[in-house]
Structure 1
Amino acid sequence: MLTSMAMLLLMGLLLGRVFRALHLPSLIGMIITGILLGPYVLNWIDSEILSLSGELRQIALVIILTRAGLSLELSSLKKVGSASLLMSFLPATFEIISITILAPLLLGMDTVSAMILGSVLAAISPAVVVPRMLKLMDEGYGNNYAVPQLIISGSSLDDVFVIVLFTVFASLSASEGIQFSSFLRIPVSIILGILLGVVIGIIFVYFSKMFHMRDSVKITILLSISFFLLEIENILTDYIPISGLLAIMAMGTTIHYQYPLLAKRFSLKYDQLWVVAEIILFVLVGASLNISYVGNVGIKSIVLIILALGVRMLGVYFSIIKTDFPKKEKLFTILAYTPKATVQAAIGGIPLAMGLPFGEEILAISIVAILLTAPLGAFLIDSTYKKLLSR
């Protein structure tokens, strides 16, 4: 297991550096590392690591979303107003509707399976988007109009919205019928997640001011609280919907609001943690991809993904149409809202595991979407932000 972990980290770091030297996103090298080392090619990653893959990827998401919260200023979100809320559901809704229409025409899917596919593909990847937006904020790009802050908040809420819809559509396909109360889980999950994070953030700030200790100890406590929040979400899921990831991000934002100096120091520590967490996240995403499925869906799946992305971009445009963004900032926001990776890797195989119709096709298309949009979205962000955003 330790040998596998060492190989995973070193090769992921090496290939990531190679792709960065080629002026391409390093995550491409990390995903390729996972594909090569994973069970479907060389099979050099220990099965114990693969069995913990979901938990390890969640830890990586915890780190980057906490880092995002620690840098997110509420005053910045006020600049964009309702656009922040619209970005959390409108682009995903546009994409789901387009796939629901197109998938039966291109792939012969029934309507419910197409809805499931749409909910799998519609989620944006915080793991791709958030670290890049944090980099932009640190370098001073886009802050005049709060573009990075808008994208960070929207992408986090977007995932909650899409995952709840996926659960509803999967239940419908399994003949459990649509429970309209399930749709109430979306706002309830978001509101309770934010409230819980705010309360815990306030308590943590009070605790930090009352008891003096090293920042490394405080970081350990903060990480432990984050893991508890995810477990609370799992425990309460059948009773009260609550988003653990949103609670984590809200906790970080509250710390920034209540104690900016501490948040700044924590941000530096989380940046260091992300160096390792990023490699683990994207290498394990690559290891979860069974490339043999890709050949089963053909060119039509790529056409579907591209057309749906175009409709998604239209949804982003309508979300920000009333903002005072200049044209270049609007174009960047549209381009930045395209990468998909972590959510697709997490839920793309569930329909197949449930024995739902077109489960294999849904998994294959989710793999194609990751391989196509994660590198493309990262490249578009990295190559355009200096040209499109004011500094």
Structure 2
Amino acid sequence: MSHSSLSCHYDSYLPSDSSLETDALTNRHWNGRISTQAEGPSRRKSNLHNAIAAEVDSSWERPVHIEGRYKKYSTTSSVYSKKALSHQSEHIERSWWYACCQKCHTEESEIPSWEPPHWQKLCPYPLCPTYRRFAQNISILLIGIMVWVLTWIVLGDTAAPGGQLFMMAVLTIAAHFGGWLVVKVTSLPPLVGMLIVGIIMKNIGFVNFNSEFQHVNSYIRKIALTIILTRAGLDLDPNAMKKYFFTVIKLALVPWTIECGLCAILCNLLLGLPWDWAFLLGAIFAAVSPAVIVPCLFRLREKGYGVSKGIPTLVLAVSGIDDAASVAVFGIISSIMFSSSSLTTNIIQGPLSVFGGVAFGVFCGYLVKYIPERNDAFLVPIRVLLLLTGNLMSVLGSEEIGWGGGGPLAVIAFAFVSCKEWVAQGWDPEDNPVATAFEIFWMFFEPMLFSITGAQVVIAELPGHLVLVSSGIIILCIVVRALLTSVSAVRSNLNMKEKIFVGLAWMAKATVQAALAPVALDEIRKMNTDSETLVQLTNYAEIVFTICILSIVITAPLGAIVITITGPRLLSKTSKPPVLEGKLKSYYYY
């Protein structure tokens, strides 16, 4: 073939200038508004945004920019296609193991993996991962080994095999793979697998944290709680909150209040918990988990369900307000219960801590609007560090001065006001790089949090009566909440089916329960009191902990299944997949 014919053949695969311009406009519309007011250094979309945008757009044939050219199909993908046609029979492609391998090795990007020579002969696809995934895992493994060696050199025996820190590291890694396995096999939230791994490793005798390391675990839970609340604040879309403010407040606080009160009454009557302990448990139990709800909604949204009414944004906004209410009320009650001050002082201190926490968070949020300067080359990392350190100081400092209810509210207010001001300066609300950084933090702390929580459950020591009664209380509370939520959705522009779905969507418990359930046990360990009182208080704290863990085990899988099954039947479907709305994508990293 001549050189000119080769050129014509190659040029036929390249789009014209007009088509490139049309595709650019289409892609701009697809990926969201780019504000003309944006200032500061240019930044690219995060890898998470690109991955999800590619997944949502997989059903639409449009060119992809690869190595300076626009191609519809890359050379590597065409090689894979030829190999699939020439080397794989139809029987193999339809086999269960082939489908399983393909699911496990689903690529997160449309850009194909570069491969060294003879890689396909040594590691054929899809039996083996792509070279990109293989190299990524090897990189993480090498980094982990080097960090462990450095930690061993600095800290000594605690990081050596058999030490407490080494045990913690192995538990976290095992929990991460347990979460990954649950996602791939069952499509349930990864936290279910992480919790199960922690329970298994505790009951087979691998994990046995001593009293000194329990203090370290309590700080890990507080850091994880800070990250949870920061993400909740960053994920509240200011425009959506302004549009749905009264609906969000009504759907968040009315069902939350009823569920909290119902749980407290049932625990007092059926389990003998004192009223202060019962309401402490109710405040923890009433929180819902965006980590369970949002990935399920994303899968429905990808198919066009619930888009026309903005239901994913509504559910996410309500989840954030719901979690903030739980943490704030828990902080107030716990500060009253475990404080040595007088009752009058504690009653006055409760509302003051709430207003003080909100005021401090709002002040810090407006402060980071001006500091650092918006054109600073290190704008993003400085904002991440300011938000992280400021929120950690709020949570830990409020507990230190006895204003435990103010710290979590300060975190939510700080994150929300910051996000609102950054959006006003031109940042895309759908691709906030600070939110992406906290997604990365959560990827490390999620397996730590849920594995540590699971590692405190000893199955042989669980009373059968407590498990049965607690399970009944949990099921009754989530059913009542679902009914109340559907009733509260009256006059909210939702039809009957959508109201029923919204009621069913908020039954899953997970993150707040895992972070707050062991707090009472930690507080009791600090108390200096007689042995009889200490035993009684420990028994109350263990009841609170057991019910919270059971709520995760029961409602997280059940909530995911109910949302997945009822969504296509109760939500209206749009024909064209929409652009991701608000912060929905930020919870979907698995």
C-alpha change, 1:241 and 1:139, in structure 2 (3 Å) is farther
Query: Aligned runs of 1:1-391 on 2, under 5 Å?
Result: 1=159, 2-21=165-184, 22-38=186-202, 40-44=203-207, 47=210, 50-103=214-267, 106-107=270-271, 114-125=278-289, 128-129=292-293, 144-145=309-310, 146-164=313-331, 166-167=333-334, 170=337, 182=347, 185=350, 188-206=352-370, 207-209=372-374, 211-213=376-378, 215-238=380-403, 241-242=406-407, 243-261=409-427, 264=431, 265-291=433-459, 292-348=461-517, 353=524, 355-356=536-537, 359=540, 360-381=542-563, 384-385=566-567, 388-389=570-571
C-alpha change, 1:198 and 1:142, in structure 2 (3 Å) is farther
C-alpha contact (below 8 Å) 1:344/1:367 kept by paired residues: yes
Q: Distance in 2 between matches of 1:256 and 1:311?
A: 39
C-alpha contact (below 8 Å) 1:194/1:250 kept by paired residues: no
RMSD after superposition: 3.8
Q: Give the SS at the match of 1:266.
A: helix
| Cα displacement string for residues 220-239 of structure 1 (whole angstroms, at most 9, x for unaligned residues) | 33322221222332244349
Q: Distance in 2 between matches of 1:100 and 1:78?
A: 33
C-alpha change, 1:377 and 1:169, in structure 2 (3 Å) is farther
C-alpha contact (below 8 Å) 1:123/1:162 kept by paired residues: no
Ranked by relative contact order (alpha carbons within 8 Å, sequence separation 6 or more), the top structure is 1
Q: Provide structure 2 residue ranges, at least 5 long, that are not aligned to the other structure.
A: 1-158, 160-164, 525-533, 573-577, 579-590
Q: Give the SS at the match of 1:82.
A: helix
* Counterpart amino acid of residue 154 in structure 1: I
Q: Which has the larger radius of gyration?
A: 2
* Counterpart amino acid of residue 341 in structure 1: A
**Could you tell me the TM-score, scaled by structure 2's length?**
0.56
Q: Distance in 1 between matches of 2:428 and 2:486?
A: 36
Q: Distance in 2 between matches of 1:309 and 1:183?
A: 33
Q: Distance in 2 between matches of 1:4 and 1:271?
A: 25
Structure 1 residue 90 displacement after superposition: 2.0
Q: Distance in 2 between matches of 1:300 and 1:356?
A: 20
Structure 1 residue 276 displacement after superposition: 2.0
C-alpha change, 1:365 and 1:123, in structure 2 (3 Å) is same
Q: Distance in 1 between matches of 2:178 and 2:438?
A: 23
C-alpha change, 1:175 and 1:59, in structure 2 (3 Å) is closer
Structure 1 residue 157 displacement after superposition: 2.6
* Counterpart amino acid of residue 327 in structure 2: V
Q: Distance in 1 between matches of 2:418 and 2:549?
A: 32
Structure 1 residue 320 displacement after superposition: 2.5
* Counterpart amino acid of residue 229 in structure 1: S
Structure 1 residue 32 displacement after superposition: 0.8
Structure 1 match to 2:123: none
Structure 1 residue 374 displacement after superposition: 2.9
Q: Give the SS at the match of 1:289.
A: coil
C-alpha contact (below 8 Å) 1:34/1:286 kept by paired residues: yes
**Could you tell me the TM-score, scaled by structure 1's length?**
0.80
C-alpha contact (below 8 Å) 1:215/1:266 kept by paired residues: yes
Q: Provide structure 1 residue ranges, at least 5 long, that are not aligned to the other structure.
A: none
Q: Distance in 2 between matches of 1:335 and 1:389?
A: 12
C-alpha change, 1:26 and 1:310, in structure 2 (3 Å) is same
C-alpha change, 1:112 and 1:148, in structure 2 (3 Å) is closer
C-alpha contact (below 8 Å) 1:134/1:148 kept by paired residues: no
C-alpha contact (below 8 Å) 2:327/2:405 kept by paired residues: no
Q: Distance in 2 between matches of 1:61 and 1:389?
A: 32
Identity over aligned pairs, percent? 29
Equivalent pairs counted in the alignment come to 387
Q: Distance in 2 between matches of 1:343 and 1:293?
A: 22
* Counterpart amino acid of residue 306 in structure 1: I
Q: Distance in 2 between matches of 1:333 and 1:58?
A: 30
C-alpha change, 1:235 and 1:176, in structure 2 (3 Å) is closer
